[in-house]
Amino acid sequence: MFSVNEKVLFENGQEGYVSRIRDMLKIEYGESPKASVVTFGCQQNVSDSEHLKGILFSLGYSITDNLEEADFIIYNTCAVREHAQDRVYGNIGKVKGYKKKKPNLIAAVCGCMAQQEIVAEKIKKSYPYIDIVFGTQVSHRLPEFIYKRLSGSKRIFELSLPNEPIVEDVPVLRDGKFKGWLPIMNGCNNFCTYCIVPYVRGRERSREPQKILDEAKAMIEAGYKEITLLGQNVNSYGKGCEHGVTFAKLLRMINDIEGDFVIRFMTSHPKDCTEELLETIRDCKKVSRHLHLPFQSGSSRILKLMNRYYDRETYLSLIKKAKELIPDVSLTSDIIVGFPGETYEDFKETLSLVKEVEFSSLFTFIYSPRNNTPAASMPDIISRKEKGKWFDELLRLQEEIAEKNIEKYIGKTYRVICDDFGSSEGYMSGHTNGTAVVEFKADEEMLGRFVDIKINSYEGVFKGEIIN
């Protein structure tokens, strides 16, 4: 993979298509063909889309956010909850209108939702204007798909899930100039009973440590100040590989790269979060003191039904250990409300866990049944309305905790990267090691630089000032 925002060529078997496609695009669309990538879902998808953009750029397309002017549109989809899927159907329905105005437009759908056979079938039947559909493990073959379609082939459906090593040498065009995603693994072997990910992304596969280090180095040289390592379950990085590099070791290796930068990572599974990892976070200066550790439910009974391989007590002792070893650690988590069979008593255990741990922020979801997952056939008698009430109760509790903890930030100094513009002119924002946003006065040229910010007050967001 490459981390620089410039044209790079493939070395992964797809290179033969590049010059042929460039010539074909010129004939079909003129000198400057345009492509749009529409992304749904998680950071992994955002990162995958950056690779799709890299491929399209290498083929000669310029990237645009304006779908009306695009000659090629690709929808990179998410399947983790029903709502995400509904949004995708709404969006791809618009392609019909775009094609009326631009008959030679090519439209593609890829990603986790497209990987499901039932979805691919629906697109085949009900969305005849979608030209190309492909799954999560073959996206490096986009040049081949575009070449075939430009050559007049029938609609393309490629849903194989070969579970082969992650393909390297895919160009990438990153959205950010100083904060970037770096995928280290893909897939999941855990089969939590509610989750569709293992079915649509396939088995866990880790990239070679050297490839990751090379890419991290290239990113740092290109000016990236924050690198977020990505994987469905980063803690199990390297499992089953000959190289013997654990996730903790990988973190140390990246931490040793010269330069001033921050390393973040997500997502961690509590069952694989070792003391070695906690010590690594403590010891490595460049690793952010932030742990996203989804617990999903505070009830051991529900955790068993979810197939999570830990119980409430084990999770809480892990948190205790994390707080002991890294006193300034910021904790965040994912929670599912209304898993099949969950009672209000179970839910109260989620509330009490949230109260006990005091997370800096939470990502909360109402359970959504997913096709062919074990939980989808478990009895689920609690109404959606009732689950909604529980969900609101959880949000209120988290708000109270956040409000109570505001004081803890005031007067403290954080090293942040100047990001975006603040809510008014002359202001910028930054993220503390957790997820708190702080706004401060800064000039435009500070963008992407590290600054020490002292937090002075809270007015909807934290307000602070540069002290160096």
Q: Which does 336 bind (CB under 5 to 8 A by kind): ligand SF4, ligand 5AD, none?
A: ligand 5AD
Nearer to ligand SF4, 174 or 264 (CB): 264
Cα angle vertex 228, ends 224, 231, to 5°?
A: 145
- Which of ligand 5AD, ligand SF4, none does residue 190 bind (CB under 5 to 8 Å by kind)? ligand SF4
CB 380 within 8 A of CB 336: no
Site mask, ligand 5AD, residues 74-113, x = CB under 6 A?
------xx--------------------------------
CB of 415 to ligand SF4, least distance (A): 31
Does 194 contact ligand 5AD by CB under 6 A?
A: yes
Sheet holding 62-63, edge to edge: 62-63, 34-39, 72-77, 106-111, 132-134, 156-158
Dist. CA 435–CA 332, nearest whole Å:
8
Within 10 A of 72 (CB to CB), how many other CB atoms are there? 25
Rg of the chain, C-alpha, whole Å: 23
Q: Which is nearer to ligand 5AD, 368 or 435 (CB)?
A: 368
From residue 244, alpha-carbon distances to 240, 249, 313, 350, 398 in Å are 8, 9, 30, 36, 40
Between 3 and 299, whose beta carbon lies closer to ligand SF4? 299
In the complex, least distance from residue 192 CB atom to ligand SF4, rounded to whole angstroms: 3
Q: Which residue has the tokens 């995603």?
A: 181
- CB of 310 vs ligand SF4, minimal distance in Å: 12
Site for ligand 5AD in 270-299 (CB under 6 A): 294, 296
- Taking CB atoms, the residue at the shortest distance from ligand 5AD is 334
Q: Which 319-348 residues touch ligand 5AD, going by CB under 6 A?
A: 334, 336
Q: Total binding residues for ligand 5AD by CB under 6 A?
A: 12
Q: Does position 188 bind ligand SF4 by CB under 6 A?
A: yes
Which residue's CB is nearer to ligand 5AD, number 33 or number 294? 294
Q: Which is nearer to ligand 5AD, 5 or 368 (CB)?
A: 368
List 5, 127, 198, 371, residue binding ligand SF4 (CB under 6 A): 198
- Binds 330, which of ligand SF4, ligand 5AD, none (CB < 5 to 8 A, cut-off by type)? none
Residue 88: which of 115, 70, 69, 63 has the closest Cα? 115
Q: Is 390 in the site for ligand 5AD (CB under 6 A)?
A: no
> Which positions from 268 through 327 interact with ligand SF4, judged by CB under 6 A?
269
Instruction: Note whether 380 binds ligand 5AD by CB under 6 A.
Output: no
What are the φ/ψ torsions at residue 69 (nearest 5 degrees)?
-100, 0
- Kindly state whether residue 235 participates in binding ligand SF4, applying the rule CB under 6 A: no
Distance in angstroms (rounded) separating the CA atoms of residues 143 and 14: 7
Q: How far apart are CA 149 and CA 143, in angstroms?
A: 10
Burial 113-144 (b: 16+ CB within 10 A, else e): bbbbeebbeebeeebebbbbbbbbbbbbbbbb
Instruction: By CB under 6 A, name the one of 137, 139, 233, 246 that touches ligand SF4.
Output: 233
- The least CB distance from residue 78 to ligand 5AD, in Å, is 10
Residue 188 contact, options ligand SF4, ligand 5AD, none, Cβ 5-8 Å cut-off depending on partner type: ligand SF4
| Rounded distance between C-alpha atoms, residue 440 and residue 431, angstroms | 11
Supply φ then ψ for residue 294, to 5 degrees.
-60, 130
Q: Which among 175, 187, 183 has a CA at the least distance from the CA of 215?
A: 183
Instruction: Tell me the residue ranges of DSSP E strands in 3-149.
Output: 34-39, 62-63, 72-77, 106-111, 132-134
Q: Tell me which of ligand 5AD, ligand SF4, none is bound by residue 232, counting a contact when its beta carbon lies within the kind-specific cut-off of 5 to 8 angstroms.
A: ligand SF4
Query: What one-character DSSP code corresponds to residue 378?
Result: S
- Can residue 370 be called a binding residue for ligand 5AD (CB under 6 A)? yes
Q: Which residues bind ligand 5AD (CB under 6 A)?
A: 80-81, 194-195, 294, 296, 334, 336, 365, 367-368, 370
Q: Which residues bind ligand SF4 (CB under 6 A)?
A: 188, 190-192, 195, 197-198, 232-233, 269
